[in-house]
Amino acid sequence: MTPLLEIQGLRTVFRSANGDIAAVDGVDLTVPRGRTLGIVGESGCGKSMLSLSVMRLVPPPGRVAAGRVLLEGRDLLTLSTAEMRAVRGGQVAMIFQEPMTSLNPVHPIGLQITEAMRAHDPRASAAELRDRAIAALERVRIPAPARRYDEFPHQLSGGMRQRVMIAMALACKPKLLIADEPTTALDVTVQAQILDLLRDLQQETGMSIILITHDLGVVAEMADEVAVMYAGRVAERASARDLFGSPQHPYTLGLLGSVPRLDEDRERLLAIEGAVPPPFALPQGCRFHPRCPFAIEACTKAQPPLEAIEPGHLAACIRAPVESAVELTP
């Protein structure tokens, strides 16, 4: 069976006085049906720009310069504006980090949900839409949904607002939900509720999820497949089990070493030296090499290809696995 979504050679650039600057630079990814792909990385790695590229919502002066985004074999990048509008909120829906800024503060939430439904089903009657919106609120486990229908965003807690966003996103039964840091602004106990809800809804509907996050805990909890991004490129791609069980790319190792754990006492965290380079000042060769303790001269020359280190486990590092790299260094 073909995967639901295939991203091939995606390149998203921003025009500047010094030529094009690539925020996403040659990314290949697949999202299987009914599964969750986690995309992890730090700020500036291109993970949010990647999801906006899939939705064709890259803000100008940015644009998708190359690549294909195949949804069930159909390239979204070649669709007309009208066709793409039908895809957004229809087959592909998106939720963002800050539910307050994504909701309109002057309209009751019920109206905002029915608005999305009406756009995709103009012939439905008002009463029918109202019933469907209340059912949608009920599905995301909002208590007393009929009463909440007439409330305004400011009357809801942060967790409730994110539930409303999810209800809106799922109103037209999308095949793919893109969740960009959906729980980052929420408290841990509320985050746990939302993650639980997303997992249940995925079971019910069989939708695929792209989960974008910086939190390795959230990825480990939710994702089937994981892609680690660094400076606009995929550094490592594997199943969640393999990625955490046998991390290959030095950047992934650095991330794992940087996170304090609840199940281990360490005197010092293994921090990564330096900072993520800005997209207009990317280093030659491997983009991680200035921060990488395993870097050798070859790393400064050519960009390493994303290659299988183990079956189904890809890493863009000529030094992986690092134990063999260390043996080879005198």
Query: Which positions touch another protein (CB under 8 A)?
Result: 42-43, 157-160, 187-193, 195-196, 214-222, 240-241, 244-247, 250, 253-266, 268-273, 275-276, 293-294, 321-323, 326, 329
Complex with another protein: residue 78 or 157, whichever CB lies closer:
157
Q: Pairing state of beta strands 208-213 and 36-40? A: parallel
Complex with another protein: residue 80 or 329, whichever CB lies closer:
329
What distance in Å separates the CA atoms of residue 140 and residue 138, rounded to the nearest whole number? 5
What distance in Å separates the CA atoms of residue 177 and residue 199, rounded to the nearest whole number? 12
Q: Are 316 and 237 in contact (CB under 8 A)?
A: no
Q: How far is the CB of 297 from another protein (least distance, A)?
A: 13
User: Would you tell me the crossing angle of helices 188-205 and 158-170 to the nearest 10 degrees?
Assistant: 20
Q: How far is the CB of 133 from another protein (least distance, A)?
A: 22
Q: How far is the CB of 260 from another protein (least distance, A)?
A: 4
Complex with another protein: residue 78 or 101, whichever CB lies closer:
101
3-state SS assignment for residue 26: strand
Complex with another protein: residue 68 or 244, whichever CB lies closer:
244
Burial of 231 (0-12, 13-18, 19+ CB in 10 A): buried
Complex with another protein: residue 110 or 250, whichever CB lies closer:
250
Residue 212: which of 189, 251, 183 has the closest Cα? 183
Q: How far is the CB of 155 from another protein (least distance, A)?
A: 12
What distance in Å separates the CA atoms of residue 53 and residue 71, rounded to the nearest whole number? 13
3-state SS assignment for residue 75: strand
Q: How far is the CB of 256 from another protein (least distance, A)?
A: 6
